[in-house]
Amino acid sequence: MKMIKGVSHITIIIADLEKTARLFCEGLGAEEVYDSKPRNFSLSREKYFILTGIWLVAMEGDQSERSYRHIAFKVEEKDIAAIGKRITGLGATIAAPRARVPGEGQSLYFYDFDNNLFELHTGGLKERLNAYQP
């Protein structure tokens, strides 16, 4: 019996909500749908965004260490360069790419201002599994 229905939301911890909101909205095309500034109900101030139907939460806090933990967004290959230019213009840092297997899709990794890692990825699970076949 499958009791899990899917992903509810993804929360990242950030230091500057306004700066991250600009990155999400202007850089990635998200829609801001909530700001707890007038009345906070959670652990700290937060904003909610919708990006391609995904509910993203940015919550104020201390995030100082970089890792490979990340959120990947599906994009068309033709759009990676333009999105990369927009997000670097907003202050995001492009990360070094990892080695790729032919057929698994292309990626652009970037860190936001709080060391959260994001990926713009052109492939999907099916392409990845096919590329990894012996």
Question: Whole-angstrom Cα distance, residue 29 to residue 40?
Answer: 25
Strand order in the sheet with 117-121: 70-74, 117-121, 107-111, 93-94
Residue 88: phi and psi, rounded to 5, are -70, -35
129: helix, coil or strand? helix
Give the dihedral sign, CA 127/115/21/47.
Answer: positive
Q: Does residue 127 carry a catalytic annotation? A: no
Question: Choosing from 46, 60, 119, 127, which is the catalytic residue?
Answer: 46
CA 111 to chain centre: 9
Residue numbers annotated as active site:
46
